[in-house]
Structure 1
Amino acid sequence: MNLFKKVLCSVSVAAVSALLAVPVMAADAQWKKNDKGWWYEEADGSYPTNQWRFINNKWYYFDNIGYMLENRWVGNYYVGADGAMLVNTSTPDGYYVDANGKWIEGIKKTVDITKRSTGRSSGGSSSGRSRGSGGKGGSGSSNTGSGSGSLSTNTDNTGSTGTTSDSSGGNHNIVIPNAANNSTSNNTDNTVASNDNSQVSSEKTRVIDALKAMGVGEKEAELYYIINAYRESLGLSKLSFSKSLTTVARTHVLDSNTYTPENQVDSRGIQGNLHSWSNHGNWTPMAYTSDHQYANNMWSKPRELTSYSGNGFEISAYTGGNITPEGALDLWKHSSAHNQVMTTQGSWSDLKTMGVAIDGRYAHVWFGSAADPAGYYDVADYQVIHP
């Protein structure tokens, strides 16, 4: 594998993961506005695109050229007139969103974000924008960090949703805003769909029960299963379940919940992100910063904690309450950098195994390409690939 490419990809994954940790914004980051709308300019002149951002205790979504969306659905979430995600209220079209902003019942068509930007000048820098006055205050419902938004969303409107769920209910099938039910659907089609769903549910139950019998937690087993189910839906092979990488993931989840190491700063005073580790364990502590100064200390964690000899690469998610497997997956699916790792695309194509942990507010999944001397949580008749 080209290490240089791997470094660049890891930089992207770490950068988008950091946003989920609700990092402190630089003092001179500010809202900007021109005749097209609002955007949020960082201290370095960059601005978020195709992603949720947590700003002043509220979530906002920015389109593919950086303008804040208003008065519309973004996946299962609704942003109001001031651009802030609505929480604990009804949307203007009558659907209820919970404390994390998630729509919980009813049917609503998903917004095609690419069409939102028609007619705007595109580009990856702020050079095409009028440097108008900033200072957007933004009033409305306050989201006090009890949920996280996805960092970016697919723009092909294929029915997936850019969400982070903090729901605690038992329904593990995220209902995605969609076109209204087709009243002309016939009974035969409905019956076939029901049988297919029953078969999927049966296999899912079998695999999760088998993993639980091997000592895997229920939420861990479900997260592993639905990541592989997502891969299968794309025509990809299922990854094996590494015991060593799971040990690393569990250790990191425990450290994250206990010490919130992302709140640390490094020797330069720069705050860490979700890839940070505390100094309360037998590992190299670090405040993993957005400039990726400490990437090697992330990649080496499997070797520090287990007999695994290869590098490990992490994707992470966080919510203010109890994170759910489907919430974490939805987040990663709609962050392009996370999705590339999870679907082993591009320079990640040699990844063959993963380790999973999810508990409390955090989910960490580690990927690797080296064989695991500790073995795998393999389930009979569930075909996976191994390094």
Structure 2
Amino acid sequence: MAKNVVVVGTQWGDEGKGKIVDWLTDNAQGVVRFQGGHNAGHTLVVGDKEYKLNLVPSGIVRAGVNCYIGNGVVLDAGHLLSEIDGLEAGGIEVQSRLKVSPGCPLILPYHSELDKAREAKKNADAKIGTTGKGIGPAYEDKVARRGLRVYDLFHPQRFADKLAEVMEYHNFVLTQYFGSAPVDYQLVLDQALARAERLKPMVTDVSAAIYAANQAGQNLLFEGAQGTLLDIDHGTYPFVTSSNCVAGQAAAGSGVGPSSLHYVLGITKAYCTRVGGGPFPSELDIDTEGTPGYQMFDKGREIGTVTRRKRRCGWFDAAALRRSARINGVTGLCITKLDVLDGLKTLDICTGYKLDGQVVDMLPIGADEVARCEPIYETLPGWSENTFRVKRWEDLPVNARAYLDRLEQLCQVPIDIVSTGPERDETILKRHPFMV
């Protein structure tokens, strides 16, 4: 019987989902992206090669694995084709294995112009830290029912008429409200229709293809982008992404029933990071050498894959993870980057917060409430031994195992996998998601 596993980030993104999806694909025949856009960044290390992916699912580096981009993904066709070209130049066959839903909303040049203009207009403390790639405006058009979708590309006159109408609106906003230059209609039209010809062979009814794969006994992985605390509904709003990035979105964003999702793996760093604006209760100083925060930033190489911005770093937040675990229905956790903590004499874990004189044990809803939280810490002893590339649980330092055991207790979710390095085989397995 086929089994489907959903992989989601449980923090503010950047948890190391790409490596784990690639590793799990050894037991899967397909990988599905179900939300977000090319604002996601997944880095895979295979032997001496490093692959940086944005839109193409992480399973693409495994020969013979089909990859699906579901209707919940907003698609910049130009970026997708460029990413395909880069992968194929490196010897990876993509086009015969990549299936793109005709229902994907299109990201077009005016979306990125709107994205950048809006962010520039905000006061410094209100800036969200958007990537400026047009993700939010594209989702906004979708919800406003004025967006263009992949299937529109294959009806040129219909596409041209819809594009003219929506661009009249957006160019008015750009010029009259933001004082920006208008986007050229003919250029957008010509570019989009030219890309349609290359995109067309990959366009497939993804919902039907996934169903057929399962009926044929194929295991599938559903790959989330960003992280739960950036979810448009459940994250630290408004400092969030523009899509739902929780496990439930795997169903809506790819066209499968919720009962077809059998296991949810929550990817979790051994500490916390965040890119961009927004509250971060357990945040540490990352600029002073010799401090725990600096070690996390420096040793963890915490630079955004897409944005190249410094990631803010902080202690593990168990109260935030409790909310993520419940929202996603997490079956098991995968802890990544444990080795970054090697050498720290003590480790703090945020177990809850003080808020309005009360102790709360779960991250509140909304940025305003989270910003008022004062973290409550529990301190554990660190370890001096090396955990990098350790491949067996019993070979981890005693204090490292104790730290992981405590995280498991606090979050009330079993730790099934520990990643101890970027390569596929640098992984400790306690329970296999496809075999639970």
Query: Is this a same-fold pair by TM over 0.5?
Result: no
Larger relative strand fraction: 2
Normalised TM-score (structure 2): 0.26
Q: Which structure shows the higher helix fraction?
A: 2
